[in-house]
Amino acid sequence: MKLRADIIKCGFSQLEQIAEIESKCIPGGWSLKAFEDWFDEKKSIVLAAVYNGEIIGFANGSWVLDEGELLNIAVLEKYRRRGLAENLLKTLEKFFAEKNVTVIYLEVREKNQSALSFYEKHGFIKNGLRKNYYRNPDDNGVLMMKKTGDKYAYTGN
Ligand SMILES: CC(C)(COP(=O)(O)OP(=O)(O)OC[C@H]1O[C@@H](n2cnc3c(N)ncnc32)[C@H](O)[C@@H]1OP(=O)(O)O)[C@@H](O)C(=O)NCCC(=O)NCCS
């Protein structure tokens, strides 16, 4: 059954809670310092899913001109498969659209089948592979993209 959570935009002071979710969901993922060094309200966004006053998931991304990047998305294990990541992704896509983003890129571990299925379900297609990109454990990085606006000019030719 779908879980109705509020999606909020986070500020710098909430990054500690975000980093905590990251550490629970993505072993070897971003540290608090990595989030703090990356965060810049002019070109980055962190969205959190809040349920009963608690942050239970988040997504963060950056954009440059018409290109957006989804950097992380994670939901605490006990709340998964209830549409929260979908809600976060759709909110991020809406935000990017307001910034005139027309294509979104991401990278994911090849062995992360749940994330790969999630992205494919939401229209991302594979467009590259970085061999042995990840460590602990070793894994390839799958590059994915999704065209989200009409102005995107790449034709593949
Ligand atoms: C990937 C992740 C964010 C999905 O969150 P979620 O809230 O469970 O996702 P939603 O409920 O919105 O979407 C569910 C869809 O995602 C995919 N999916 C999620 N978990 C899956 C699993 N264990 N096996 C297969 N597909 C899965 C499916 O397409 C599923 O659709 P379905 O339920 O109709 O089959 C979550 O599994 C997670 O936090 N994983 C750990 C962190 C991570 O790997 N993040 C991605 C890399 S940054």
State yes or no: pLDDT of 32 exceeds 70. Answer: yes
The model scores a pTM over 0.85: yes
Ligand 1, from 108, 118, 143: best to mutate by most atoms within 8 Å of Cβ? 118
> What domains can you pick out in the chain, each with its CATH number?
6-147 (3.40.630.30)
Residue minimizing CA distance to atom 9 of ligand 1: 85
What is the per-residue pLDDT for 155?
54
Residues in Cβ contact with 72 at an 8 Å cutoff, skipping those fewer than 6 apart: 22, 26, 29, 30, 58, 59, 60
What is the per-residue pLDDT for 154?
56
Q: Write out residues with Cβ below 6 Å of ligand 1.
A: 25-26, 72-75, 80-86, 108, 112-115, 117-118, 121
- Residue 6 pLDDT grade (very low, low, confident, very high; cuts 50, 70, 90): very high
**What tens digit of pLDDT does each residue of 93-146 get?**
999 999 999 999 999 999 999 999 999 999 999 999 999 999 989 999 999 999
Element (H, E) at 104: strand 103-109
CA 89 vs. chain centroid, Å, equals: 7
